[in-house]
Amino acid sequence: MRSISVTAKLFVVSLVVVMCLSISSFSSHSESGDVNEVTVEYPEGYRDWTHVKTYVVKPKSPAFSIIGGFNHVYANDKAMTGYQTGHFPNGSVIVSDVVHANDDSLNTREGARVHLDVMVKDTIHFQDPGGWRFETFEKDSKSMRFLTPTTRLDCNNCHLKHNKDMVFSNYRR
């Protein structure tokens, strides 16, 4: 009887160890350095989504050092529902693809990618203000996430000023 309970205890201990290991391997998935944080997935295939708009941020803009150049905005199908109704359902993803603008005497053409700004509506995995989680992927990287909790809050705070579910842009037919 005693040997059974020792075996049972060992079983429970090894179960706990396995659970801890799997939780810690889940946490280490985070690349922003935050323990236990679920990260935003790279928006694979976003260039095939709906192109919402493009605007160009010029050198005189105070935001030029961050988002200078072309800003191409794309939305997935759920976010398109949001553009139509003013309420963005969970699973909405909007991308702003920031690309250098290179001038020659006749044209302004796209250069290298600066970064990819992403906002994801997900109130299940994230508790961010307004229900949107913001992320920035560096240059062409699909894994280098740039934002910290503090810089991410800057994104939320400015977007919160807009009353259309935090999305500034409109979809033009």
Contact footprint for ligand HEC (CB under 6 A): 55, 73, 94-96, 117, 119, 134, 136, 147, 154-155, 158-159, 167-169
Q: Tell me, what DSSP letter sits at residue 42? A: P
Are the C-beta atoms of residues 132 and 111 closer than 8 Å to each other?
Answer: no
In the complex with ligand HEC, the residue whose CB is nearer, 82 or 106, is: 82
In the complex with ligand HEC, the residue whose CB is nearer, 28 or 127, is: 127
How far is it, in rounded angstroms, from Cα 68 to Cα 164? Answer: 25
Are the C-beta atoms of residues 40 and 31 closer than 8 Å to each other?
Answer: no
CB 7 → ligand HEC: shortest distance, Å? Answer: 53
Structure-token match 């259309």, residue found: 164
Alpha helices in the chain (DSSP H): 2-27, 64-67, 77-85, 149-159
Q: Tell me, what DSSP letter sits at residue 145? A: B
How far is it, in rounded angstroms, from Cα 25 to Cα 22? Answer: 5
- φ/ψ of 148, rounded to 5, equals -105, 165
3-class secondary structure, 80: helix
CB 42 → ligand HEC: shortest distance, Å? Answer: 14
CB 124 → ligand HEC: shortest distance, Å? Answer: 20
